Structure 1
């Protein structure tokens, strides 16, 4: 069976979703540069396990609308899309799964609307409380010493043009560099002032052991059509997200499950000195922390069976429909 697709009118936009199965809803939130289909294998597995698995193209991606302006790509705005999705399917609450920007989104959603979040399952991006300074205060100094994509992406039009001109090459390079087959932080050995493609390694020819040509082509086709601005705007909203979270709680009030790749670059270079200690200190109902040996950032592709087993095992124990 394949997922079905439809448009949901929510929070002032048309949100494209792929959905599969029936039962309690589990909603998957992707990151950059991905779309709904990065979760295709998980939709199949959870539908077979008796869940209603849903993967939206988040705001600015794929077949979902991409409103203009900084406020349109904040976590607050996208959280509104997800709450509207719950209303559309008639669900009081759901389990949310997130990776990359999707992880930051579901952590924040649990702070904004805990009554609508039965639990969060997060891959590779651990929770940390709001820092004392906006994110740009930390990356600006680092970007003076070496190339850093967080800084490079901030100027509208620059990365947009570079990546849109060579989408297939960019996606191959960035997916490979983020995987456990490469050490992503080696991109920091490059000087500032260069483009992202110059900082990324050459990727081996597809298919890879963990990614088929068809799955890769699905991502390429969407970004060839849309370009990358919708996703890059999420980076440009990071400081605004920081401003909008000043009054939110600092600890996560819902059950949480965390799975990470042993070689994930976010765990190594972007989540503080001891990300697991910070996670445990600020997520009181943290029910599982598990590591996947050898995996990198794209664990749902790299170690599909392990990710699916983690999700189905803990969902069964959680029993969210009856909790």
Structure 2
């Protein structure tokens, strides 16, 4: 990842120790709002002195999220911190190592893949091309359908619950 995206890429940055302390210095609710309601699919590049530069714009709650939701999530992170989330990024190399035996394996069961076009994971370099250009269908041999939802970010199940439920239902009833 570092070779492709550089040291400032958020995945590389969050592998470093000390981010828990940086996040603990800022308002948890505003921090979560800046993450959850982000509509920019380009990968974030947080500076090393994140707390000093944290200057969130006032947020507007989207229709799919309430102030009570934000209060709830903020209270959980205030109680436990962000170590669990950061450990996900710190474990990337180990995950690759543990999954090495399946390198080149194909997914051969029916699949319906749904992603939002504003999800930053969909906007990683080469990901869109992989999904729409045939690479995905070589790895996932039985995709029923690939759905790219316009105007939807990472939290597709919250942003468009009825549409997601319909996609899931329509997929399941085929069996």
Distance in 1, Cα, partners of 2:112 & 2:154: 17
**TM superposition outliers: structure 1 runs of 4+ over 3 Å:** 196-201, 270-273
Q: Which of 91, 94, 111 in structure 2 is aligned with 1:256?
A: 111
Residues 176 and 281 (structure 1), Cα distance of their counterparts in 2 relative to 1, 3 Å cut: same
TM-score by length of 2: 0.84
- Report the 3-state secondary structure (helix = DSSP H, G, I; strand = E; otherwise coil) of the residue aligned with 2:173: helix
Q: Deviation per CA, 1:52-71, whole angstroms, max 9, x where unpaired?
A: xxxxxxxxxxxxxxxxxxxx
Do residues 297 (structure 1) and 161 (structure 2) align? no
Distance in 2, Cα, partners of 1:221 & 1:243: 35
Residues 184 and 262 (structure 1), Cα distance of their counterparts in 2 relative to 1, 3 Å cut: closer
Correspondence for 2:5 = 142
Shift of 1:308: 1.4
Distance in 1, Cα, partners of 2:33 & 2:64: 13
Do residues 236 (structure 1) and 90 (structure 2) align? yes
Shift of 1:237: 0.5
Shift of 1:203: 4.6
Distance in 2, Cα, partners of 1:266 & 1:252: 20
- Aligned counterparts, 1:39-188, within 5 A: 138-140=1-3, 142-144=5-7, 147-156=8-17, 158-165=18-25, 166-177=27-38, 182-185=39-42, 187-188=44-45
Q: Which of 269, 278, 281 in structure 1 is aligned with 2:135?
A: 278
TM-score by length of 1: 0.48
Q: Deviation per CA, 1:148-192, whole angstroms, max 9, x where unpaired?
A: 211111122x11112233321211100111xxxx2131745x7x5
Contact 2:41/2:120 (<8 A) preserved: yes
Which 5+ residue runs of structure 2 have no aligned equivalent? none
Distance in 2, Cα, partners of 1:314 & 1:200: 43
Contact 2:109/2:142 (<8 A) preserved: yes
The CA RMSD measured in Å over matched residues stands at 2.5
Q: Deviation per CA, 1:233-283, whole angstroms, max 9, x where unpaired?
A: 111010111111121252113221101112222111256361313221101
Contact 1:176/1:203 (<8 A) preserved: no
Contact 1:171/1:220 (<8 A) preserved: yes
Shift of 1:230: 1.2
Which is strand-richer, 1 or 2?
A: 1
